[in-house]
A = this chain, B = another copy of it.
Amino acid sequence: MATARTSAAARPYHHGSLREALVEAGLSLARTGGPEAVLLRAVSREAVVSHNAAYRHFADHDELLGAVGERCMRNLALLMGTRTDEVRVRQPVKRARAELDAIGRAYIEFAQTEPGWFRTAFAAVKSDQPGDHAQLSAAETPPSAGELNPYQLLSARLDRLVAVGEVPAERRPGAEYSAWSVVHGLSCLLVDGPLRYLPRAEIEVAINTALALVQRGL
């Protein structure tokens, strides 16, 4: 007998995959509210679980936010991958350029269509350790083979441009910093910053000139 609590069919006491459910709930909250919305209590509420059940899966709030942030970063990488795959240009040189353009556009598209996730992806980075430089290419993404983070995707496109002869090899070092800065900066200015209320048409101008600058400048 018992549990006349809700109409929900007797949810088992043990959730089975609460960790994943919590991250999913956090993702949902982050989507509309950004990193500020990924609160331990709010996430537990969303997952319909007592608020300290979370402590069985995460040491503290920071660790939860970190896990959600990683997923946001992965979502960004996924969109970049998708948009790259959609490039239909055949000719190798043109294709290399088009692919670089595509990941740049995808980056900005993600920031604009999923501002909450975008902000969470980068907010969560704050809490991680000094670590070494290798972090960029290695960490932030689980070791599951074949998955690349945004930085790695960009590096690959730049390598390709060199391989194809479109970018002189001596310009390759540091190129990811410049290219990344352009799309990241524009994304921040558009999502959060002073360009937030730019009219739609002007936004298009901004995106196009910014990406053109990258293509010309490399």
Contacts and interface: CB of A to CB of B under 8 A. Distances in A.
Interface stretch (A2-10, A11-19, A37-45, A186-194): A186-194
The A interface, classified by DSSP as helix, strand, loop or mixed, is helix
Contact of A188 (B131, B151, B184, B213): B184
Given A197-B131, A217-B217, A122 B174 contact: no
Contacts of A132: 197
A209 B133 contact: no
A138 B187 CA distance: 23
Contacts of A205: 173-174, 177
A147 B186 CA distance: 25
A72 to B, nearest CB: 13
Contacts of A195: 136, 177
A56 interface: no
A174 B138 CA distance: 36
A184 B177 contact: no
Contacts of A193: 122, 125, 184
